[in-house]
Amino acid sequence: MAGLAGRSAIVTGAGNGIGRAITERLLHEGMNVVGVDVEREALDRLETELGSVHAGRLTTVQADISRREDVDRAVRSCVEQHRRLDLFVANAGIADAEPCLRISEESWRRIIDVNLTGTFFCVQAAARVMVPQRHGAIVVTSSTNAWFVESNMWHYNASKGGIDALVRSAALDLGQYGIRVNSVQPSMVRTRASFVTDDPQFAPKYLERVPLGRFARPEEIASIVAFLASEESSYITGQAIVADGGLTLGIYLPLPAEPLPGSARAAQRHDISH
């Protein structure tokens, strides 16, 4: 994709799932990538499996995005290595589903701390480097849960709703510096974090409501991130691209037994009977 090769990126949550697919895609596009994750073993795996293929273009930083100093350290590492930061992909996130009346303050705070406050730290730290550069793209992994909510996930849904407002706010304020801020909103993606995709009972029921009839693959989300990062989307900012296989388009109905009153078909029936 245009404008990516030779540029530098940070990807959070790079060790697994969607973040790993994004990292792989950006390396394939010729970018230098700093992969950030809280799990050291996941980063070691990433380096072993991708580092050798893309010699010298992948480095990793173990960091918890809910800690501002960790995020700043990751950004410093990218700038020290590559002298600039062209793309920040704020992808890391956690979820949980638990009986809504029993969601504890601790549980609420952890999800908000990582997903919303952590994403704020990422977007702001990236912007602090990008503003003087007068150039940059920020892409956030949000979710359809920002507005098409799922049961017993008050904390997660609220965190993604907040991310949406953050993305729009940052896009509004940073556009004047040539910085674009967008998000991708997947519904259900096959990763370890989704407890639905491999559930033998519930997965088929869920898929009955998905026009494309399947769950997303992480690579399909990575394609959207690459597009939003590239010059191909140079006039898009503050937007969310929904990747849900059609899940949130509407609801299937049975066909009515009879034409509905007032319709042309009902009138035709009436004519025939006289």
Ligand X SMILES: NC(=O)c1ccc[n+]([C@@H]2O[C@H](COP(=O)([O-])OP(=O)(O)OC[C@H]3O[C@@H](n4cnc5c(N)ncnc54)[C@H](O)[C@@H]3O)[C@@H](O)[C@H]2O)c1
How many whole angstroms separate alpha carbon 64 and alpha carbon 103? 23
Task: Please tell me whether residue 183 binds ligand X under the rule CB under 6 A.
Answer: no
> Interface mask (CB under 6 A) for ligand X, residues 189-218, using x and -?
x-xxxx------------------------
Active-site residue (options: 156, 177, 206, 252): 156
Kindly tell me which residue out of 1, 79, 94, 131 binds ligand X, with binding defined by CB under 6 A: 94
Smallest gap, in angstroms, from Cβ of residue 132 to ligand X? Answer: 26
Kindly tell me which residue out of 4, 8, 10, 15 binds ligand X, with binding defined by CB under 6 A: 15
Kindly tell me which residue out of 3, 28, 39, 223 binds ligand X, with binding defined by CB under 6 A: 39
DSSP per residue, the chain: -TT-TT-EEEEETTTSHHHHHHHHHHHHTT-EEEEEES-HHHHHHHIIIIITTTTTTEEEEE--TTSHHHHHHHHHHHHHHHS---EEEE---------GGG--HHHHHHHIIIIIIHHHHHHHHHHHHHHHHT-EEEEEE--GGGTS--TT-HHHHHHHHHHHHHHHHHHHHHGGGTEEEEEEEES-BSSTT-SSTT-TTHHHHHHTT-TT-SPBPHHHHHHHHHHHHSGGGTT--S-EEEESTTTTS----PPPSSPPTTSHHHHHHHHHH-
Tokens of 230: 């590239």
Kindly tell me which residue out of 92, 127, 137, 226 binds ligand X, with binding defined by CB under 6 A: 92
Task: Please tell me whether residue 186 binds ligand X under the rule CB under 6 A.
Answer: yes
Smallest gap, in angstroms, from Cβ of residue 127 to ligand X? Answer: 19
Task: Please tell me whether residue 167 binds ligand X under the rule CB under 6 A.
Answer: no
Smallest gap, in angstroms, from Cβ of residue 101 to ligand X? Answer: 23
Task: Please tell me whether residue 162 binds ligand X under the rule CB under 6 A.
Answer: no
Kindly tell me which residue out of 125, 146, 188, 229 binds ligand X, with binding defined by CB under 6 A: 188
Which CB sits closer to ligand X, 16 or 233? 16
> Interface mask (CB under 6 A) for ligand X, residues 63-82, using x and -?
-xxx----------------
Catalytic residue status for 252: no
Kindly tell me which residue out of 33, 58, 87, 95 binds ligand X, with binding defined by CB under 6 A: 95
Instruction: Show which residues are catalytic.
Output: 156
